[in-house]
Amino acid sequence: MFPESQPSHPAPGVHYLLECADCVPALLTDLPLLKKTLEKAAKEAGATVVETVLHQFNPHGLSGVVVIAESHIAIHTWPEHGYAALDVFTCGLPEIAENITDQLLAAFNPGKHTLTRLERRPPVIETARI
């Protein structure tokens, strides 16, 4: 169900969904370069990198996550389509997620992209009146 009313408490997190087409090809296939790029974007945005796990598929494609103290950056690539799907989720300061997203857009240099911003928060629980 989709409630009509807005939640009454602030969002504790922001989540960006980034769809990138016609990307820099090496970032879709080169695992060490992708790791360096994702970690650099996180660090330069003021996030704290905790751990990075990336996996290279055969014959192609990469998937993984950079766990940051503020939450995470996730990626899935489809080199055969020139496409990367990225999630950037941070708790606290939304500027960190915005900065990471800006840096990833600059690095991937997509010919086309879409960006969706979601505010993450627990659902509002209505209490019954007796």
Question: What percent of the chain is modeled with pLDDT above 90?
Answer: 82
Look up the CATH number of the domain holding residue 78.
3.60.90.10
3 lies in some domain: no
| Number of domains within the chain | 1
More confident residue, 122 or 85: 85
Q: Is the peptide bond before 94 cis (omega within 30 degrees of 0)?
A: no
Mean pLDDT, all residues of the chain? 91
Query: What number is the average pLDDT over the span 102-110?
Result: 97
Residue 127 forms part of a structural domain? no
Give CA separation, 95 vs 6, 9, 82, in Å: 23, 19, 28
Q: What mean pLDDT do residues 39-50 have?
A: 98
More confident residue, 83 or 122: 83
Phi, psi torsion values for 109, nearest 5 degrees: 45, 55
| Predicted pLDDT at 102 | 97
Domain presence at residue 109 = yes
pLDDT at position 10 is 64
Q: Does position 60 have pLDDT exceeding 60, yes or no?
A: yes
Half-sphere exposure of 6 (CA within 13 A, CB side): 5
Q: Does residue 129 register a pLDDT over 80?
A: no
Q: Judge whether residue 130 has pLDDT over 80.
A: no
pLDDT for the residue 2: 38
The catalytic residues are 71, 76, 91
Q: Supply the DSSP string of 112-126, one letter for each residue.
A: EEEEEEEEE-PPP-P
Average pLDDT over residues 79-93: 96
For residue 31, give its domain range. Answer: 13-120
pLDDT for res 109: 97
With respect to residue 129, please indicate whether it lies within any of the assigned structural domains.
Answer: no
pLDDT tops 60 at residue 7: no
